[in-house]
């Protein structure tokens, strides 16, 4: 089985992107941490990061068979209606992650169009949030999922 790790716009530059907000952990390090958690359940990780909403939608449409997904939509949380529609049609359970506590930030980040479709949301825990989301899926997804 596979766990999909999907990261949206501007998350490919983690490590150097506004480190005071997003920390210094790189996306490669996050991928390794998620892979470690997934391995605990015998799952492989498929990881993708795109700046464009269309590419993210393509990945979701191609991975409807995975056991679960960890998704950081980045700024598409704010008005990514196409991404939201793709997630509405995405059957596997998935968890939304935000490195920062978006509730403690600007008002335009205080609601997410995608989060209401998620099984759960992890925010404000930095890179650790990805690991915790992945571990949660390994614990929550029933055995009869592929
Ligand atoms: C983010 C929060 C978003 O509001 C922002 O646009 C991002 C990163 C986070 O992980 O904290 O790009 O998703």
Q: What residues does each domain of the chain span?
A: 2-140
Mean pLDDT of 91-113: 98
**Model pLDDT, residue 115:** 98
Q: Which atom of ligand 1 is nearest to the CA of 72?
A: 13
Angle at 62 between CA 58 and CA 67, to 5 degrees: 125
75 lines ligand 1 (CB under 6 A): yes
How far apart (Å, rounded) are the C-alpha atoms in residues 63 and 71?
A: 13
State the CATH architecture for 2-140. Answer: 3-Layer(aba) Sandwich (3.40)
Annotated catalytic residue 130: no
Q: How far is the CA of 21 from the centre of ligand 1 (A)?
A: 9
- Our measurement of the distance from residue 76's CA atom to the centroid of its chain's CA atoms, rounded to an integer in Å, reads 12
Enter the pTM of the model.
0.97
The dihedral formed by the CA atoms of 46, 52, 55 and 61, expressed in degrees to the nearest 10: 80
**Model pLDDT, residue 63:** 98
Q: What is the pLDDT of residues 1-14, one digit of tens each?
A: 999 999 999 999 99
**Model pLDDT, residue 143:** 86
Q: What is the pLDDT of residues 37-83, one digit of tens each?
A: 999 999 999 999 999 999 999 999 999 999 999 999 999 999 999 99
**Model pLDDT, residue 144:** 74
């Amino acid at each position: 089985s596979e766990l999909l790790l999907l990261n949206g716009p501007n998350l490919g530059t983690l490590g150097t992107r506004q480190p005071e907000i997003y920390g210094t952990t790189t996306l490669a390090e996050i991928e390794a941490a998620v892979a470690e958690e997934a391995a605990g359940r015998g799952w492989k990780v498929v990881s993708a990061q795109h700046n464009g909403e269309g590419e993210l939608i393509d990945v979701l449409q191609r991975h409807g068979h995975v056991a679960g997904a960890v998704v950081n939509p980045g700024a598409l949380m704010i008005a990514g209606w196409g991404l939201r529609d793709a997630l509405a049609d995405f059957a596997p359970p998935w968890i939304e992650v935000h490195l920062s506590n978006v509730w403690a930030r600007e008002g335009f980040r205080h609601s997410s169009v995608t989060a209401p479709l998620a099984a759960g949301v992890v925010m404000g825990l930095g890179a650790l949030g990805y690991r915790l989301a992945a571990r949660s899926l390994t614990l929550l997804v029933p055995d009869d999922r592929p």
